[in-house]
Amino acid sequence: MKAAYMNEQGGPEVLQYGDLPDPQAGPGEIAVDVHAASVNAADWKVRSGSYARITDFPYVLGRDFSGVVAEVGAGAGAGVTDLAPGDPVFGVLDAGQEGAYAEKVAVRADLAARKPEGWSHEEAVALALAGLTAIVSLEDTLKLQAGETIVIQGGAGGVAGFAIQLAKHIGATVVTTASAANHDYVKGLGADRVIDYRAQDFTQEVSGVDAVFETVGGDVARRSFDVLRPGGRAAFIASGGQAPKPPRSDVTALRPNVARARRHMERVAELFAAGAVTVPPIRTFPLAEAADAHRVSEGRHLRGKLVLKVR
Ligand SMILES: NC(=O)c1ccc[n+]([C@@H]2O[C@H](COP(=O)([O-])OP(=O)(O)OC[C@H]3O[C@@H](n4cnc5c(N)ncnc54)[C@H](OP(=O)(O)O)[C@@H]3O)[C@@H](O)[C@H]2O)c1
């Protein structure tokens, strides 16, 4: 198979394009002919070594995929009788597994969901990890309720864009942060109020909110505690594996456990079918140009999603 892979960690230039052996579907797995893979922010962090040191090369990045089932693993069992070669599927690889920047990937069958008819592979993958993360963060972790107010940091990003729409669907009021060029975009997603974080200090603009969903990291994460009401809660996905420690004792800091499950992919499809969420703007790159896609991702100002077109 063709794959974008690396033999060492480092800058975008370590991503090479070439041939690697096809992965085989093991018991309980399917092998998928990948048509599209997202470039997620996690990918350049793994590539550069800011997450963990990789020792097993060649290494293929890529956490979510959309494609067509090529093979069902031997002994796959009752759990996969509903998937067969030829079925279009999308999903997120198991936590700790990567490899979607390739023409073929083996994945636990119970993590893959049927790709809704009418979605291209690029559209399906654009909603996969981003949708999963937003659903786990808002519904399962923050348990956001109708009538509450939430601050969503970094509204123009892939995860946050889904989260704005989901929060509105739940019935919350949404305040978000974005640079001026993205204000119309995030308002179009449903944001009730947008703060231009380059011109305004969000801690001076908003206070006493019920919840924060923090997708930016660094200083933005630390200062997010300031805008919560007593009893408020904040969920952090850009501050590593642990939520930052709150500087006050009357709020809760949460780190969503973004566990993979087919039901979450089905929830993404359900939200789309209900008209609650739309497909974000997608910028595509051919798989062979994964390094260029990483340069855009690492620039941290892409609106919507980056997708690699694999076939
Ligand atoms: N399983 C997990 O835990 C999980 C899953 C997915 C993502 N994540 C993490 O979540 C974070 C977001 O991921 P993503 O893929 O959604 O990111 P992304 O799409 O790369 O986010 C880019 C967006 O961030 C905005 N932005 C940059 N700096 C900002 C600031 N200071 N204030 C407000 N907005 C800012 C930019 O908008 P402007 O141009 O308007 O600045 C841009 O649209 C990443 O750190 C990623 O690693 C974690």
In the chain, where the domains are located: 2-127+279-309, 130-254
Any atom of ligand 1 within 6 Å of the Cβ of 46: no
DSSP 245-305: PPSSTTSEEE-------HHHHHHHHHHHHTTS--PPPEEEEEGGGHHHHHHHHHHT--SSE
Residue 188 CB contacts under 8 Å (≥ 6 apart), including other chains: none
Contact criterion met (CB below 8 Å) for 248 and 225: yes
pLDDT grade, residue 73 (50/70/90)?
Answer: confident
| 2-127+279-309 and 130-254 agree in CATH topology | yes
Tokens of 18: 């070439």
Ligand 1, residue 160: give the atom nearest the CA.
16
Q: Which of 98, 136, 159 to mutate to test the pocket of ligand 1 (most atoms within 8 A of CB)?
A: 159
Asked if residues 87 and 50 have their Cβ atoms less than 8 Å apart, the reply is no
Per-residue pLDDT averaged across 46-60, rounded?
96
- Quote the CA–CA distance of 230 and 251 in Å, as a whole number: 6
For domain 130-254, the CATH architecture is Alpha-Beta Complex (3.90)
**pLDDT, average across residues 73-82:** 65
Q: Per-residue pLDDT for 9 more than 90?
A: yes
Three-state secondary structure call for residue 158? helix
Decide if 287 contacts 307 (C-beta within 8 A).
Answer: no
Specify the DSSP class assigned to residue 164.
H
Bond into 256 cis (ω within 30): no
Q: Has this prediction a pTM greater than 0.85? A: yes
Half-sphere exposure of 193 (CA within 13 A, CB side): 13
Mean pLDDT for 57-86 is 86
Choice from 64, 164, 237 to test ligand 1 binding pocket (greatest atom count within 8 A of CB): 237
pLDDT score at 77: 54
- Give 90's strand partners: 66, 113
pLDDT digits (tens, 9 = 90+) for 132-162: 999 999 999 999 999 999 999 999 999 999 9
Closest ligand 1 atom, residue 136 Cα:
1
The answer, yes or no, to whether any atom of ligand 1 lies below 6 A from the CB of 282, is no
> Rounded to 5 degrees, what angle do the CA atoms 104, 107, 110 make?
140
177 lines ligand 1 (CB under 6 A): yes
Top pLDDT among 28 and 67 is at: 67
What's the pLDDT tens digit per position in 233-292?
999 999 999 999 999 999 999 999 999 999 999 999 999 999 999 999 999 999 999 999
Q: Between the CA of residue 303 and those of 7, 89, 272, what are the distances in Å?
A: 30, 25, 19
At residue 169 the predicted structure's pLDDT band, cuts being 50, 70 and 90, is very high
27 pLDDT tier (thresholds 50, 70, 90): confident
Assign domain 2-127+279-309 to its CATH superfamily: Medium-chain alcohol dehydrogenases, catalytic domain (3.90.180.10)
pLDDT of residue 43: 98
What is the CA(122)–ligand 1 centre distance, in A? 19
Question: Is the CB of residue 129 below 6 angstroms from any atom belonging to ligand 1?
Answer: yes
Residue 79 has pLDDT above 80, yes or no: no
pLDDT tens string 85-126: 999 999 999 999 999 999 999 999 999 999 999 999 999 999
Tokens of 289: 């140009």
